[in-house]
Protein backbone atom coordinates (compact mmCIF):
# COMPACT_ATOMS: atom_id res chain seq x y z
CA UNK A 1 0.00 0.00 0.00
CA UNK A 2 1.14 3.51 -0.71
CA UNK A 3 -0.15 4.88 2.59
CA UNK A 4 -0.99 3.41 6.01
CA UNK A 5 -4.59 2.91 7.05
CA UNK A 6 -5.84 5.16 9.87
CA UNK A 7 -6.52 3.47 13.19
CA UNK A 8 -8.44 6.07 15.21
CA UNK A 9 -12.14 6.78 14.66
CA UNK A 10 -11.39 10.40 13.76
CA UNK A 11 -8.66 9.32 11.37
CA UNK A 12 -10.97 6.86 9.65
CA UNK A 13 -13.66 9.52 9.26
CA UNK A 14 -11.16 12.00 7.87
CA UNK A 15 -9.88 9.39 5.40
CA UNK A 16 -13.42 8.62 4.24
CA UNK A 17 -14.34 12.29 3.78
CA UNK A 18 -11.25 13.04 1.63
CA UNK A 19 -10.74 16.71 2.65
CA UNK A 20 -8.07 17.17 -0.04
CA UNK A 21 -10.82 16.92 -2.65
CA UNK A 22 -13.13 19.45 -1.03
CA UNK A 23 -11.98 22.46 -3.10
CA UNK A 24 -13.73 20.78 -6.04
CA UNK A 25 -17.02 22.01 -4.53
CA UNK A 26 -15.80 24.80 -2.24
CA UNK A 27 -14.31 26.81 -5.13
CA UNK A 28 -17.60 26.94 -7.10
CA UNK A 29 -19.31 27.87 -3.83
CA UNK A 30 -16.96 30.87 -3.56
CA UNK A 31 -17.73 31.71 -7.19
CA UNK A 32 -21.43 31.66 -6.32
CA UNK A 33 -20.87 34.10 -3.45
CA UNK A 34 -18.94 36.32 -5.86
CA UNK A 35 -21.76 36.19 -8.40
CA UNK A 36 -24.17 37.25 -5.66
CA UNK A 37 -22.03 40.28 -4.79
CA UNK A 38 -21.71 41.19 -8.46
CA UNK A 39 -25.49 40.91 -8.86
CA UNK A 40 -26.66 42.73 -5.74
CA UNK A 41 -23.70 45.03 -5.12
CA UNK A 42 -23.23 43.87 -1.53
CA UNK A 43 -22.02 40.81 0.36
CA UNK A 44 -24.77 38.90 2.15
CA UNK A 45 -22.99 37.37 5.14
CA UNK A 46 -25.98 35.13 6.06
CA UNK A 47 -26.20 34.00 2.45
CA UNK A 48 -22.46 33.23 2.30
CA UNK A 49 -22.57 31.29 5.59
CA UNK A 50 -25.61 29.33 4.44
CA UNK A 51 -23.81 28.51 1.19
CA UNK A 52 -20.78 27.26 3.11
CA UNK A 53 -22.91 25.04 5.36
CA UNK A 54 -24.91 23.57 2.48
CA UNK A 55 -21.75 22.97 0.44
CA UNK A 56 -20.09 21.06 3.28
CA UNK A 57 -23.19 18.90 3.69
CA UNK A 58 -23.28 18.33 -0.07
CA UNK A 59 -19.60 17.37 0.04
CA UNK A 60 -20.24 14.71 2.69
CA UNK A 61 -23.22 13.45 0.71
CA UNK A 62 -21.21 13.23 -2.53
CA UNK A 63 -17.98 11.77 -1.13
CA UNK A 64 -19.67 9.08 0.95
CA UNK A 65 -22.27 7.98 -1.56
CA UNK A 66 -19.77 8.04 -4.43
CA UNK A 67 -17.58 5.55 -2.57
CA UNK A 68 -20.66 3.51 -1.66
CA UNK A 69 -21.81 3.43 -5.28
CA UNK A 70 -18.32 2.51 -6.54
CA UNK A 71 -17.54 -0.07 -3.86
CA UNK A 72 -17.49 -3.01 -6.27
CA UNK A 73 -15.27 -1.30 -8.83
CA UNK A 74 -13.01 -0.01 -6.03
CA UNK A 75 -12.65 -3.56 -4.71
CA UNK A 76 -11.83 -4.75 -8.23
CA UNK A 77 -9.11 -2.11 -8.54
CA UNK A 78 -7.58 -3.12 -5.21
CA UNK A 79 -7.38 -6.71 -6.48
CA UNK A 80 -5.89 -5.63 -9.80
CA UNK A 81 -3.45 -3.13 -8.30
CA UNK A 82 -2.81 -4.03 -4.64
CA UNK A 83 0.00 -1.48 -4.34
CA UNK A 84 -2.26 1.49 -5.06
CA UNK A 85 -3.86 3.73 -2.45
CA UNK A 86 -6.37 2.07 -0.09
CA UNK A 87 -10.09 2.51 -0.63
CA UNK A 88 -12.58 3.30 2.12
CA UNK A 89 -14.89 0.27 1.88
CA UNK A 90 -12.66 -2.44 0.34
CA UNK A 91 -9.92 -1.79 2.92
CA UNK A 92 -12.32 -1.66 5.85
CA UNK A 93 -11.76 1.99 6.79
CA UNK A 94 -15.53 2.36 7.14
CA UNK A 95 -18.25 -0.16 6.39
CA UNK A 96 -20.58 0.21 3.43
CA UNK A 97 -23.48 0.63 5.86
CA UNK A 98 -21.72 3.41 7.80
CA UNK A 99 -20.78 5.26 4.62
CA UNK A 100 -24.31 4.99 3.24
CA UNK A 101 -25.79 6.26 6.49
CA UNK A 102 -23.36 9.17 6.72
CA UNK A 103 -23.99 10.22 3.13
CA UNK A 104 -27.76 9.96 3.27
CA UNK A 105 -27.81 11.70 6.64
CA UNK A 106 -25.84 14.65 5.26
CA UNK A 107 -28.17 14.94 2.27
CA UNK A 108 -31.33 14.80 4.38
CA UNK A 109 -29.86 17.32 6.82
CA UNK A 110 -29.07 19.68 3.94
CA UNK A 111 -32.70 19.46 2.81
CA UNK A 112 -33.93 20.04 6.36
CA UNK A 113 -31.65 23.06 6.84
CA UNK A 114 -32.74 24.57 3.53
CA UNK A 115 -36.32 25.04 4.76
CA UNK A 116 -35.66 27.45 7.68
CA UNK A 117 -32.90 29.17 5.70
CA UNK A 118 -35.35 29.77 2.84
CA UNK A 119 -37.76 31.39 5.29
CA UNK A 120 -35.11 33.50 7.07
CA UNK A 121 -33.56 34.79 3.84
CA UNK A 122 -36.81 34.94 1.83
CA UNK A 123 -35.49 32.44 -0.73
CA UNK A 124 -38.56 30.29 -1.50
CA UNK A 125 -36.85 28.24 -4.22
CA UNK A 126 -33.99 27.11 -1.96
CA UNK A 127 -35.34 23.67 -0.91
CA UNK A 128 -36.06 22.80 -4.55
CA UNK A 129 -32.58 23.95 -5.61
CA UNK A 130 -30.91 21.91 -2.87
CA UNK A 131 -32.96 18.90 -3.86
CA UNK A 132 -31.91 19.45 -7.47
CA UNK A 133 -28.23 19.60 -6.49
CA UNK A 134 -28.54 16.34 -4.55
CA UNK A 135 -30.51 14.70 -7.36
CA UNK A 136 -27.80 15.65 -9.86
CA UNK A 137 -25.30 13.54 -7.97
CA UNK A 138 -27.82 10.73 -7.51
CA UNK A 139 -28.24 10.54 -11.29
CA UNK A 140 -24.45 10.53 -11.62
CA UNK A 141 -23.49 7.62 -9.39
CA UNK A 142 -26.50 5.79 -7.92
CA UNK A 143 -29.22 3.45 -9.24
CA UNK A 144 -31.27 3.38 -11.33
CA UNK A 145 -29.65 5.85 -13.77
CA UNK A 146 -25.93 5.75 -12.82
CA UNK A 147 -24.72 7.91 -15.72
CA UNK A 148 -21.16 7.46 -14.52
CA UNK A 149 -21.53 3.82 -15.57
CA UNK A 150 -23.57 4.34 -18.73
CA UNK A 151 -21.62 7.28 -20.20
CA UNK A 152 -22.21 10.99 -19.69
CA UNK A 153 -21.24 11.17 -16.03
CA UNK A 154 -18.53 13.72 -16.76
CA UNK A 155 -21.04 16.08 -18.38
CA UNK A 156 -23.35 15.78 -15.38
CA UNK A 157 -20.48 16.48 -12.97
CA UNK A 158 -19.46 19.52 -15.03
CA UNK A 159 -23.04 20.81 -14.89
CA UNK A 160 -23.17 20.43 -11.12
CA UNK A 161 -19.76 21.96 -10.39
CA UNK A 162 -19.78 24.48 -13.21
CA UNK A 163 -23.35 25.81 -13.08
CA UNK A 164 -25.60 24.44 -10.32
CA UNK A 165 -23.39 25.22 -7.30
CA UNK A 166 -22.45 28.76 -8.43
CA UNK A 167 -26.11 29.45 -9.24
CA UNK A 168 -27.13 28.25 -5.78
CA UNK A 169 -24.61 30.61 -4.16
CA UNK A 170 -25.84 33.51 -6.28
CA UNK A 171 -29.44 32.78 -5.32
CA UNK A 172 -28.64 32.59 -1.61
CA UNK A 173 -26.82 35.92 -1.64
CA UNK A 174 -28.80 37.92 -4.19
CA UNK A 175 -32.14 36.18 -4.72
CA UNK A 176 -31.32 35.46 -8.37
CA UNK A 177 -29.81 32.39 -10.00
CA UNK A 178 -27.61 34.33 -12.41
CA UNK A 179 -26.16 37.81 -12.60
CA UNK A 180 -24.14 39.84 -15.11
CA UNK A 181 -20.91 37.88 -14.61
CA UNK A 182 -22.62 34.53 -15.14
CA UNK A 183 -21.36 34.75 -18.73
CA UNK A 184 -18.07 33.41 -17.34
CA UNK A 185 -19.71 30.20 -16.14
CA UNK A 186 -19.24 28.67 -19.59
CA UNK A 187 -15.46 28.78 -19.25
CA UNK A 188 -15.58 27.58 -15.64
CA UNK A 189 -17.74 24.64 -16.71
CA UNK A 190 -15.07 23.65 -19.22
CA UNK A 191 -12.50 23.50 -16.42
CA UNK A 192 -14.97 21.46 -14.36
CA UNK A 193 -15.38 19.09 -17.31
CA UNK A 194 -11.60 18.74 -17.58
CA UNK A 195 -11.49 17.77 -13.90
CA UNK A 196 -14.31 15.27 -14.35
CA UNK A 197 -12.53 13.60 -17.26
CA UNK A 198 -9.25 13.51 -15.32
CA UNK A 199 -10.94 11.63 -12.47
CA UNK A 200 -11.10 8.54 -14.68
CA UNK A 201 -7.44 8.41 -15.67
CA UNK A 202 -6.16 6.41 -12.71
CA UNK A 203 -9.11 4.00 -12.90
CA UNK A 204 -8.97 3.29 -16.62
CA UNK A 205 -8.43 -0.47 -16.56
CA UNK A 206 -10.45 -1.22 -13.43
CA UNK A 207 -13.36 0.90 -14.71
CA UNK A 208 -13.26 -0.96 -18.03
CA UNK A 209 -13.20 -4.30 -16.23
CA UNK A 210 -16.07 -3.20 -13.99
CA UNK A 211 -18.23 -2.05 -16.90
CA UNK A 212 -18.02 1.72 -16.35
CA UNK A 213 -18.29 3.88 -19.46
CA UNK A 214 -16.19 6.97 -18.86
CA UNK A 215 -14.47 9.28 -21.32
CA UNK A 216 -11.19 7.52 -20.57
CA UNK A 217 -12.54 3.99 -21.07
CA UNK A 218 -14.36 5.00 -24.26
CA UNK A 219 -11.72 7.24 -25.91
CA UNK A 220 -8.52 6.00 -24.30
CA UNK A 221 -5.86 7.61 -22.15
CA UNK A 222 -4.16 9.69 -24.83
CA UNK A 223 -7.35 11.24 -26.23
CA UNK A 224 -8.57 11.99 -22.71
CA UNK A 225 -5.32 13.75 -21.78
CA UNK A 226 -5.44 15.83 -24.96
CA UNK A 227 -9.05 16.78 -24.22
CA UNK A 228 -8.15 17.82 -20.66
CA UNK A 229 -5.32 20.09 -21.81
CA UNK A 230 -7.50 21.56 -24.56
CA UNK A 231 -10.30 22.35 -22.09
CA UNK A 232 -7.78 24.00 -19.74
CA UNK A 233 -6.89 26.39 -22.60
CA UNK A 234 -10.35 26.93 -24.06
CA UNK A 235 -11.95 27.57 -20.64
CA UNK A 236 -10.15 30.83 -19.82
CA UNK A 237 -10.34 31.87 -23.47
CA UNK A 238 -14.11 31.51 -23.14
CA UNK A 239 -14.05 33.85 -20.13
CA UNK A 240 -12.44 36.56 -22.22
CA UNK A 241 -14.68 35.93 -25.23
CA UNK A 242 -17.87 35.94 -23.15
CA UNK A 243 -16.89 39.13 -21.34
CA UNK A 244 -16.03 40.87 -24.60
CA UNK A 245 -18.86 39.59 -26.80
CA UNK A 246 -21.75 39.35 -24.36
CA UNK A 247 -21.13 42.35 -22.13
CA UNK A 248 -20.46 44.73 -24.99
CA UNK A 249 -17.04 46.04 -24.03
CA UNK A 250 -13.40 45.12 -23.58
CA UNK A 251 -12.63 42.30 -21.12
CA UNK A 252 -12.97 43.40 -17.53
CA UNK A 253 -9.69 43.46 -15.57
CA UNK A 254 -10.91 40.60 -13.41
CA UNK A 255 -11.52 38.37 -16.44
CA UNK A 256 -8.00 39.10 -17.69
CA UNK A 257 -6.41 38.35 -14.32
CA UNK A 258 -8.36 35.10 -13.86
CA UNK A 259 -7.49 33.98 -17.39
CA UNK A 260 -3.80 34.75 -16.84
CA UNK A 261 -3.83 32.73 -13.62
CA UNK A 262 -5.27 29.79 -15.56
CA UNK A 263 -2.88 30.16 -18.50
CA UNK A 264 0.07 30.25 -16.09
CA UNK A 265 -0.62 26.64 -15.17
CA UNK A 266 -1.04 25.31 -18.71
CA UNK A 267 2.69 24.69 -19.48
CA UNK A 268 3.05 22.56 -16.33
CA UNK A 269 -0.16 20.72 -17.15
CA UNK A 270 1.03 19.99 -20.69
CA UNK A 271 4.46 18.85 -19.48
CA UNK A 272 3.01 16.49 -16.88
CA UNK A 273 0.51 15.12 -19.39
CA UNK A 274 3.26 13.39 -21.33
CA UNK A 275 4.01 10.94 -18.50
CA UNK A 276 0.41 10.34 -17.36
CA UNK A 277 -0.06 7.21 -19.41
CA UNK A 278 -2.22 4.22 -18.51
CA UNK A 279 -1.38 2.75 -15.06
CA UNK A 280 1.32 5.38 -14.40
CA UNK A 281 -0.42 6.23 -11.14
CA UNK A 282 2.19 8.60 -9.75
CA UNK A 283 2.41 10.60 -12.98
CA UNK A 284 -1.38 10.70 -13.25
CA UNK A 285 -1.56 12.09 -9.71
CA UNK A 286 0.91 14.85 -10.62
CA UNK A 287 -1.03 15.61 -13.80
CA UNK A 288 -4.33 15.85 -11.90
CA UNK A 289 -2.69 18.05 -9.24
CA UNK A 290 -1.52 20.45 -11.94
CA UNK A 291 -5.03 20.59 -13.40
CA UNK A 292 -6.69 21.15 -10.03
CA UNK A 293 -4.17 23.81 -9.09
CA UNK A 294 -4.82 25.64 -12.35
CA UNK A 295 -8.60 25.44 -12.08
CA UNK A 296 -8.92 26.15 -8.38
CA UNK A 297 -6.51 29.13 -8.41
CA UNK A 298 -8.32 30.65 -11.38
CA UNK A 299 -11.73 29.95 -9.87
CA UNK A 300 -10.78 31.51 -6.55
CA UNK A 301 -9.32 34.51 -8.37
CA UNK A 302 -12.64 34.99 -10.11
CA UNK A 303 -14.85 34.34 -7.07
CA UNK A 304 -12.87 36.39 -4.56
CA UNK A 305 -12.27 39.02 -7.22
CA UNK A 306 -16.00 39.53 -7.70
CA UNK A 307 -16.36 40.12 -3.97
CA UNK A 308 -13.65 42.81 -3.84
CA UNK A 309 -14.09 44.22 -7.37
CA UNK A 310 -16.53 46.98 -6.32
CA UNK A 311 -13.80 48.49 -4.14
CA UNK A 312 -11.68 48.95 -7.30
CA UNK A 313 -14.53 50.21 -9.45
CA UNK A 314 -14.52 47.13 -11.72
Whether residue 2 is contained in a domain is answered as no
Whether residue 5 is contained in a domain is answered as no
Whether residue 280 is contained in a domain is answered as yes
| Rounded Cα distance, 253 and 243, in Å | 10
Whether residue 114 is contained in a domain is answered as yes
The set of residues, in sequence order, having a beta carbon less than 8 Å from that of 42 and lying 6+ positions away, is none
Please give the radius of gyration of the chain, using alpha carbons only, rounded to the nearest integer: 19
- How many domains, the chain? 1
Whether residue 19 is contained in a domain is answered as yes
pTM over 0.85: yes
| Rounded Cα distance, 266 and 43, in Å | 32
Cα angle for residues 83, 11, 139 (degrees, 5° grid): 75
The set of residues, in sequence order, having a beta carbon less than 8 Å from that of 87 and lying 6+ positions away, is 67, 74, 75, 77, 78, 93
Whether residue 128 is contained in a domain is answered as yes
252: left (phi over 0), alpha (psi -120 to 50) or beta: beta
Whether residue 4 is contained in a domain is answered as no
Q: Does residue 179 contact residue 35 with C-beta atoms inside 8 Å?
A: yes
Whether residue 298 is contained in a domain is answered as yes
Q: Does residue 195 contact residue 295 with C-beta atoms inside 8 Å?
A: yes
One digit per residue, pLDDT tens: the chain, 314 residues?
A: 456 788 898 999 999 999 999 999 999 999 999 999 988 888 999 999 999 999 999 999 999 999 999 999 999 998 999 888 889 999 999 999 999 999 999 999 999 999 999 999 999 999 999 999 999 888 888 888 888 888 889 999 999 999 999 999 999 999 999 888 888 899 999 999 999 999 999 999 999 998 899 999 999 999 999 999 999 999 999 988 888 776 544 557 888 899 999 999 999 999 999 999 999 999 999 999 999 999 999 999 999 998 887 776 66
Amino acid sequence: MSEPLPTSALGRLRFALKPASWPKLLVPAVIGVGLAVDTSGALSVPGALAMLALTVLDLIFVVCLNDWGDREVDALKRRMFPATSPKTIPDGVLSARALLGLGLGAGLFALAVSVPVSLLLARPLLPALVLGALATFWLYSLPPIRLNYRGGGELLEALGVGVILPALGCYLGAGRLFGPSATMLGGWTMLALASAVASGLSDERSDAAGGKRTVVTMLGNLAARRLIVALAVVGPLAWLAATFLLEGGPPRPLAIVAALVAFDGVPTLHRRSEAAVTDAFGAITHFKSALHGLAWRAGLTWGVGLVVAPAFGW
